[in-house]
Amino acid sequence: MKKRLFSGTAPTGVLTIGNYLGALRNWAVRQEEYDSLFSIVDMHALTVPRDGRELRQRSRDFLCLYLACGLDPEKSTLFLQSGNPAHGELAWILSCHTAMGELSRMTQYKAKAQKSGANAGLFTYPVLMAADILLYGTHLVPVGDDQKQHLELARRLAVRFNKKYGELFTLPEPLIPEKTGRIMNLKDPSSKMDKSHPERETFIALTDTPGEITRKISRAKTDSRGTFDLNDRESGIGNLVRIYSALTGLGEGTVVWEYEHRGYGPFKRDLAEILCESLRPIRERYGEIRGDESYLTELLKRGEEKARRKSEPVLTRVKEAVGLGI
Ligand code: LTN
């Protein structure tokens, strides 16, 4: 039996080169080895008020980019979180086993609540994420390191539940990508590249045109001294070198050696070209399938059937354990 792997992204903003290098590209490799579920976690997107029509479109944009990045519906389960009602059911049960303090300590909640004014969904977001994971007996969860604290909650809930009711849940392990997992904002290299950032200049979207890519890279922040000091966290150069290195497979030292005497101009020109070439097949594939709504509907239906089937054993046992149902 293959081990289970679960990951997902909320369909907000647009998928970026950060999502590609930190997640999607690795997911496509993992799907060969694991029984993988990759969800578009649309219920998580509701923690911020949104237009419903737009959300549904975005979910499909994301599905197409999952496919264009190589996720294969024959090998993996690709589905909308809202397509499997078990997520919401388990989340409720788990929330009744979660202390308020465990949630109010979450750093992401504290940061977001300050910015946008919190609703209860934002507060209980990590419980829904724990449900996503535990529902499928997941062994491995590829996530960025900003999600470690949330995954820790999922693990704590699994242990707590198993102590109380017997071995119901598998204890999930995080799978945190090494340093390419953290691609930074092009204008402010001290913060992570954010797919929902209001300023498009701060990220490279997977669907950006060559013109947009070239312009954004040429305007990306670098160090005024012109050096290739990768450890200087304030200058953006380390981030750009990491992107270059991740796309070409060349070591960071090799990249620096190649360009430190030629300067930022040639480096940025080459980086833009590498990005354009790397993203071209993704953008083209996206363009080919995005218009085929009935194909996408069919895929989503198949995905949600598979997901429901895979979650059925755990949900049934949990409901039985806590005393729900006939
Ligand atoms: N919170 C995650 C998205 C997410 C997720 C999950 C990731 C929701 N449910 C389950 C892994 C497993 C994020 O913001 N990146």
List, for residues 194-204, the tens digit of each pLDDT value.
999 999 999 99
Structure tokens at 162: 């198993």
pLDDT band at residue 179 under the 50/70/90 scheme: low
Structure tokens at 84: 């499997």
Q: How far apart are CA 265 and CA 131, in angstroms?
A: 48
The residues, ordered by sequence, that sit 6+ positions from 7 with a Cβ below 8 Å of its Cβ are 23, 27, 36, 37, 38, 39, 141, 142, 143
Q: Which candidate in 195, 221, 306, 310 is catalytic?
A: 195
Report the nearest-CA residue for atom 9 of ligand 1: 129
pLDDT digits (tens, 9 = 90+) for 124-140: 999 999 999 999 999 99
Closest atom of ligand 1 relative to the 6 alpha carbon:
12
Structural contact between residues 91 and 312, judged by C-beta atoms closer than 8 angstroms = no
Q: Which candidate in 3, 112, 187, 319 is catalytic?
A: 112
pLDDT at 117: 75
pLDDT at 121: 95
Structural contact between residues 67 and 302, judged by C-beta atoms closer than 8 angstroms = no
Report the nearest-CA residue for atom 5 of ligand 1: 8
Distances in Å between the Cα of 116 and the Cα atoms of 47, 170, 183, 250, 270 are 10, 35, 24, 41, 39
pLDDT at 234: 80
Determine the distance separating the centroid of ligand 1 and the alpha carbon of 8, expressed in angstroms. Answer: 5
195 is catalytic: yes
Quick one: CA dihedral 200, 202, 208, 209, positive or negative?
Answer: positive
* Average pLDDT of every residue of the chain: 95
Say which CATH superfamily domain 200-288 falls into: Tyrosyl-Transfer RNA Synthetase (1.10.240.10)
One-letter amino acid for residue 99 of the chain = A
Closest atom of ligand 1 relative to the 9 alpha carbon:
3
**Mean pLDDT within 302-307:** 98
Q: What are phi and psi of 50, to 5 degrees?
A: -145, 160
Closest atom of ligand 1 relative to the 10 alpha carbon:
3
pLDDT at 251: 95
Determine the distance separating the centroid of ligand 1 and the alpha carbon of 29, expressed in angstroms. Answer: 19
192 is catalytic: yes
Specify the residue for token string 């999600």: 147
The answer, yes or no, to whether residue 310 has pLDDT greater than 70, is yes
Structural contact between residues 275 and 243, judged by C-beta atoms closer than 8 angstroms = yes
Q: How far apart are CA 37 and CA 86, in angstroms?
A: 14
Q: Which candidate in 192, 216, 221, 268 is catalytic?
A: 192
One-letter amino acid for residue 313 of the chain = P
Structural contact between residues 208 and 216, judged by C-beta atoms closer than 8 angstroms = yes
Choose the residue to mutate in 145, 150, 183, 194 for probing ligand 1, maximizing ligand atoms within 8 Å of C-beta. Answer: 150
Out of 4-13, 102-111, 145-154, 224-233, least confident range: 224-233
| Strand boundaries in the chain, DSSP class E | 4-9, 35-40, 77-80, 140-142, 173-175
Pick the CATH number of 4-175+293-322 from 3.80.30.20, 3.40.50.620, 3.40.710.10, 3.20.20.10: 3.40.50.620
pLDDT at 113: 85
Out of 5-9, 48-52, 169-173, least confident range: 48-52
The answer, yes or no, to whether residue 181 has pLDDT greater than 80, is no
Structural contact between residues 98 and 70, judged by C-beta atoms closer than 8 angstroms = no
Q: How far apart are CA 284 and CA 166, in angstroms?
A: 50
The answer, yes or no, to whether residue 92 has pLDDT greater than 80, is yes
**Mean pLDDT within 16-40:** 97
Q: Does the model's pTM come out above 0.85? A: yes
216 is catalytic: no
Domain positions in the chain? 4-175+293-322, 200-288
Give strand pairing partners of 77: 37
pLDDT band at residue 180 under the 50/70/90 scheme: low
Determine the distance separating the centroid of ligand 1 and the alpha carbon of 44, expressed in angstroms. Answer: 8
37-53 as b/e: b if 16+ CB within 10 A: bbbbbbbbbbbbeeeee
Which of the two residues, 281 and 178, has the higher pLDDT score? 281
Out of 59-63, 76-80, 91-95, 219-223, least confident range: 219-223
Q: How far apart are CA 127 and CA 180, in angstroms?
A: 28
Q: How far apart are CA 23 and CA 38, in angstroms?
A: 11
pLDDT at 164: 97
Determine the distance separating the centroid of ligand 1 and the alpha carbon of 9, expressed in angstroms. Answer: 6
pLDDT at 216: 98
Closest atom of ligand 1 relative to the 146 alpha carbon:
15
Report the nearest-CA residue for atom 8 of ligand 1: 129
Choose the residue to mutate in 143, 182, 192 for probing ligand 1, maximizing ligand atoms within 8 Å of C-beta. Answer: 143
Q: Ligand 1: residues within 6 Å at CB? A: 6-10, 41, 44, 129, 132-133, 141, 143, 147, 150
